[in-house]
Structure 1
């Protein structure tokens, strides 16, 4: 009788490969700076908009229009920030997604299942929480998508500052989940918040994207070719009625993110390295500066928790995101052959899931689109996004501080490099060459100890004096 075979369980959130771990560490370093700048910009916006002597100037600058009217691009400063600069942010998100699809966690369908399910549940549950809150309170359902988004820069910045000793797999989980979250947020914007379509402009944008793709495949190089073409594609996409940020993510997805043998970096990685500082250091902070400037008062904050639309946003971000992501991860482990890594416990996952309630950038954008034409409700929803993001950040900080203390010793173990070859020993424990090097190191140390003992012994003999 043939022996029965069992399929080994797939470990979720297990130890990353060394290249993937290096990529996550680099992304965290960059996003930490971007998150700090984003926070400073949001605080500056709130101060600027809430000081009576400065409030008028904030409104004047935000609503100042410039740009070519003939091309349909005579936009306000706030509009340029939301539709123009934010396209750079989505361009980088597109490259990140492409990289995850071809070289990261999303390349392996089994590994991809976890962040995809977690991201979907982390969007569906907040939308459900918002909908139920507004159905019971007779509010508007137009804002159902506002609490579905996660802000990559803010969430990773908090994780990088607070969760310094958390396993790299948890950090990669949040990074991958946020990228997938962004993809679905883009789809939501494209499907549900697209105005009347101009098919001529849309056709022109599609043709531009095809030209962009052909030039990439032909190996054509030079920023002077791609930057003007990207601007044309963006302008056509904006005039088509489809949100202009779609152009950014489409171009990001077209870049090659696999390396040839003679390359240290793929074109996608190289361009992301160049553009990410522009996105994190300029585009996103400026968007926050002209989107987060809402009037805040005791009465306004009180309304956040009494109006169904704003309460739905806060509950969606704080409760819906954490429950959805944690629940999606747990269900994946419960009903598939996946199991949690032995190095982790479920409270670790919940602590990281709570970070995803920081909606900020994309949530503010969707809030503007959902309640366009109602300036008062738009500002109230923005205040709700800020409140929900702040509560999530504080909750996640407390949970991460508790979990982080546990992992400090584990991090020291994972970073140990006794043979000083630049590769942590834990990645070489199954390499025969590593054990040979370690044996040689131990033998040299033993020989050195013997030599020192002999020298000490000889010196001792000489101290005995004349016979």
Structure 2
């Protein structure tokens, strides 16, 4: 258990720093595209980097979306596997609440978004934009403003976000799989089987794993499935328990290696290329009048908060789940507001869902809605966490005074 907790602490620390870098990258993109040099930003994002032998001709923006995010999803897969086998989600009693909260935090935003935007172009898939919580962004806000609330808050938020990521990944797999190329799908399956076999045989050399990972990514791309899903599958197929005489399990070793790269480079670069939204008066006007934008805003702010907190409260009241130690309902409400921070996956889904709708303005509007709503949720969540932190600090000081007397 001590090792699990140290791993949790390390994960939180890395994601917190990554969240801060992500914010800087997003702010840079917004300032750049809305500056007199905005054309250079557009030119950079649309620069094509081809790999001609593989017939891949992707822009820099698409490479970050399809390529770098595969590493982000690989780390997410490793973390999910660890949580399911040896972490918080391995204990059914402790796992019940974050799992239920995550389901509520995915279903409710989707229903609200679909209801608000019903009939608008692209809404057949755009309802999925507000379903995902950005773990790095949310943990960064929690670290900066929630240092005085119980540690169980961090465990709850992390566990919830891990399950949330899994559900979002399943949504991406279902919604954004085009016509399947069966041969390429079989090749991808063979790569996954090879990875699992290598893990079973305790193979350690990257000369086996790197080619398998690259081949699986390319095979899924050619099969018509979003290639970042290769990262999730490979992460879930990686061993998380140590053998006798082994210092670290492969999943732990790979997390130590790739999580800083994912949090400090891959996600911020994606944010840099995805967050460049022109924020002129027209866009701001549409944010609160256009049904697509409203579906994203209300889906995130109301859907996430109501879905996470409401379902959690109901599950606790019905005795289905147990409230975390030292965590009050008001603390959980503050964490639910943080759940409305949708960034990385929400921006990715916006691009995937609305890429073929109109002249591209729908994508920009949806991304602007994600950015504005995420900022509002972070500010509201911070205010609530600071207030709750003062309450917990006062209680600790009162108990300390009682002990002295």
TM superposition score category, shorter chain reference: over 0.9
Alpha-carbon distance change, 138 to 278 in structure 1, aligned in 2, over 3 angstroms: closer
Q: How does 1:270-419 map to 2 (within 5 A)?
A: 270-341=253-324, 343-374=326-357, 375-408=360-393
- What is the CA–CA distance in structure 2 between the aligned matches of 1:344 and 1:150, rounded to whole Å? 21
**Once the 2 structures are TM-superposed, how far is the Cα of residue 67 of structure 1 from its aligned partner?**
2.4
Structure 2 counterpart of 1:44: 28
Task: Name the CA distance, whole Å, in 2 between partners of 1:77 and 1:342.
Answer: 46
**Equivalences for 1:222-241 in 2 at 5 Å?**
222-241=205-224
Contact 1:88–1:283 under 8 Å retained in 2:
yes
CA contact (8 A) 1:72 1:239 kept: no
Correspondence for 2:81:
98
Could you say if the C-alpha distance between residues 195 and 138 of structure 1 is closer, same or farther in structure 2, counting changes exceeding 3 Å? Answer: closer
- What is the CA–CA distance in structure 2 between the aligned matches of 1:211 and 1:152, rounded to whole Å? 30
Which residue pairs with 1:419 in the alignment? Answer: none
Change (3 A) 1:33 1:339: closer
Written as runs of structure 1 = structure 2, the 5 A alignment for 1:115-154 is 115-135=98-118, 140-154=123-137
1:112 deviation in Å? 1.8
Secondary structure (helix, strand or coil) at the match of 1:238 reads: helix
Contact 2:125 / 2:175 at 8 angstroms: preserved in 1? no
Answer yes or no: is 1:262 the counterpart of 2:276.
no
1:33 maps to what in 2? 17
What's the CA shift string for 1:88-126, capped at 9, x where partnerless? 000000001000110112112222221111111001111
Write the distance in 2 (CA, Å) between the matches of 1:92 and 1:413.
42
> Which runs of no fewer than 5 residues in structure 1 stay unpaired?
1-16, 415-467
For residues 344-380 of structure 1, give each alpha carbon's deviation from its aligned partner in whole angstroms, at most 9, with x where no partner exists.
Answer: 2200000011111111000000001111123110011
Q: Give SS of 2:14's match.
A: helix
Match status 1:199 vs 2:215: no
Answer with 98-107 or 224-233: which moved more: 224-233
1:299 CA drift (Å): 2.2
Q: Give the drift of 1:139.
A: 8.4
Give the distance between the partners of 1:355 and 1:373, measured in 2 at CA.
31
Question: Do 1:115 and 1:177's aligned partners in 2 also have CA atoms closer than 8 Å?
Answer: yes
- The separation in 2 between residues aligned to 1:144 and 1:77, in whole angstroms, is 27
Q: Provide the rounded CA distance (Å) in 1 between the counterparts of 2:364 and 2:21.
A: 22
Matched, 1:71 2:54: yes
User: d(CA) in 1 for partners of 2:19 and 2:265?
Assistant: 11
Match in the other structure for 1:216: 199
Equivalent-residue separation in structure 2 for 1:368 and 1:344 (angstroms): 37
Structure ID, larger Rg: 1
In the TM superposition, residue 20 of structure 1 has moved relative to its aligned partner by 4.1
Query: What secondary structure is seen at the aligned counterpart in 2 of 1:74?
Result: strand
CA RMSD of superposed structures (Å): 2.0
Which whole-Å CA distance do the structure 2 matches of 1:364 and 1:150 have between them? 11
The question of whether the paired residues in 2 share the 8 Å contact of 1:167 and 1:411 is answered with: no
> Structure 2 length normalisation: TM-score?
0.94
Residue 264 of structure 1 and its aligned partner are, at CA, apart by 3.3
Measured after TM superposition, the shift of residue 411 of structure 1 is 7.3
Work out whether 1:163 is the aligned partner of 2:141. no
Distance 1:64 1:341, change over 3 A: closer
CA distance in 1, matches of 2:8, 2:203: 30
Q: Give the total of aligned pairs.
A: 397
Residue deviations 1:113-158 (CA, integer Å, cap 9, x gap):
2111111100111111111212398983431000001111101111
Q: Matched residues in 2 for 1:127 and 1:232: separation? A: 33
> Post-superposition shift, 1:339?
3.8
Q: Which runs of 5+ in 2 are unaligned?
A: 400-405
Report the equivalent of 1:425: none
CA drift at 1:237: 1.0
What residue number does 1:432 align with? none
